[in-house]
Chains A and B, each alone.
Chain A
Amino acid sequence: MTDNKDKAPLMQIELDYQAREKRVWDAIHLEKPDRVPIVCYDEYFSLKQGGLTPADAYYDPKRASKVFAENVTKFNWDMVSIFGNLPGKVGETIGLTSNRWAGYNLADTQEFQFVEKEYMLGDEYDQFLSDPSDFIIRKMWPRMADGLDAFGLFPSFTMFSHAYAPISDLAMLLGQPEVREMLKKLILIGEQMNEHIAGVDQAVEALKEKGLPVFAEVPAHAPFDWISDYFRGIKGTMLDMYYQPDKLKAAINMITPHMIEYTIGTAKEMGVPYVSIPLHRGADPFMSNKQYAEFYWPSLKELLLALIDAEITPMPYWEGSYTNRLEFLTELPPGKIWGHFDVVDIEKAKKLLGDTMCFWGNVPVQTLISGTPEQTSDYVKKLIDTFGDNGGLIIDGAAGIPKEAKLENVITMTETVFEYGVY
């Protein structure tokens, strides 16, 4: 190959990359791009097309990267997420019990699942609120991973504050066999993580070389979800709303500034201009609008506005049914949020949010999995007819592209946009 031969396609690839990015950002800013963009959450669908399973993503990210890049680029989308969540080896080394995943304690073909329980008990709010980091490290971590049990042996971290601590208390603790065993594991998971990240990075690089932007996921959570998902569980939080609402609110308020600082810091460090926020307990069936207004929305809104202030585009994924909450979302500034919708009344969404927020997602997973190409195409056209007039539309499955989706439906979803979604 000569240099000259290489240059032309490389330039074209770079132009394709830029055109795709511009198309997506135009839609987010509610400006009309050349065509409706397609941006897909694709955790395992493309991997499956290449014959791999979620277990491969957990345990062989290099191979998964190669297969993912080969397959996802066939669809001609404008931007994609990248597969995989946790490195399976890290979870095994640390004896993680708060998650189950493919290739370990779930079948190779299954997505990971979080094992929800009360990692913080109802009577532990005061401990958590008085010294959150101490509580998390000494109490919660041992409950989430067998390999972190030895943190339970530590005294309150506040007591390591005296001048002799490093050569006395701390050194003595680190001499204990259980602690030394744990430290070995901690060293090992760092190495395993580096290896995993190197594997996943290969996919990002491979896609860039093919002109396809990847949205790296810097994740954040609604503060209510943070407490509900990870600390108290759904039942615990819902009982707290009645039995100890002030403590629940205090925990949410305590977490919120940490969430904001951490998220902005991580996004800036990675150079990523957006943050994905998968939302859970605010969906319609979980609570009333009154409860949403009291417990859920204020801290989420604070997070969203803080990100926007820091010139980061929040990508909330309004998971579940969100029709009853649309009124709340009208409080957000126009063209600044990249919201992904799951199940929602699209007419109402257009009416209330059409001038506020680009509409992304919502092609029913049921249609992609069990429907026909014709049903898929009809739905995509309906979305384009509803939202296309001001350019504020991005196509994806309601929950991304599920790995169980029929290939012909996914192809049809894409082709329909190319045929029907040109502005």
Chain B
Amino acid sequence: MQQSLESNQSGLSNDAWPACDIPCYLGRVEIPDDVIVPESRWSRNNRLVEYALRQDNFERHVGAAVERHGAHRVGVVMGTSTSSIDRTEEAYRAMDEGAAERFASEFLQPRTHNPHAPGDYLAERLGLTGPCITVSAACASSAKVFAAAERWLQQGLVDAVVVGGADTLCLSVLYGFHSLQLVSDEPCRPFSPQRKGISLGEAAGFALLSNEPAELSVTGVGESCDAHHMSTAHPEGLGARLSMERALAAAGITFADLDYVNLHGTGTRANDEIEGKVCAEVAAPHTLFSATKGWTGHALGAAGIVESVLAMNALLTGLVPGTMNTTCAEPGLPVLLESVHREIKTALSNSFGFGGNNCSVVFARA
């Protein structure tokens, strides 16, 4: 990730996706063949969880937390929208038409064909026996994991929590967003006046949270609902504004204290217009705003964790990512086009999803 950020390289490409004839660009992850999971858990989504788990010594950090606190004192909160539906799609494709309505034997995987699959897999894989849930709130899923983890830590249910998210490309999301006419036929250009919609992506990522002091901290999480429409944001961005305000209030700061905002910035006409309007009204002159889905694609249920990691990375390295693919921003919110180096201390990440579900997370560097 750091390498892509430094060399200004987007992960989007227009390589074809199997059995998909929608013209589009995708943020696809090449999962190496040696990344395998047990047969009972086999799915692209679980393999992506496994692949991400092998990065950056994450397993070792979790191991240290287990050693310190005990496996029963470490919780899991995963976020997903797709769960392992990639595998369910495969099971249906393999079903004989007209024959009995049964999955073939290799698809009889109860712990895979359900919304809890990624959290359940992760806990078993890491040997964690504390509380474990999988949050599914569309594109806000893996931002809301920080809220649940914070509450568990606060109530003393656990000493540490593995939070994260995983979503995979599959026909459900490709044809689903296509049915809503939201998929761009070019690499997405968030906040560009010429934007044509989203580029879908897939991703998995994690963070290990505890009450102990660390270089980075989650200082506030805000959650809200639009109470407006299932797939269209509130026209005045009421829910988006509420989630940001609640996150800032929880962190004990104001908009003026924010150095960086990683926008939800999907590249659709409606999202960017509404989010841009809400942010422009409250933005302080020094605050940097950028949307990073031009780098990664919209990883849906994993977007929250991906963009949280990007925000935390900006806090740690001082490299604030620009809005890839966007050459000129729509009037209103002055989004950062090119990446810049700047020492920042406080960042907020926005994630908004279907069902009118919104979440904002504030991170700070000590």
The answer to whether A and B belong to the same complex is no
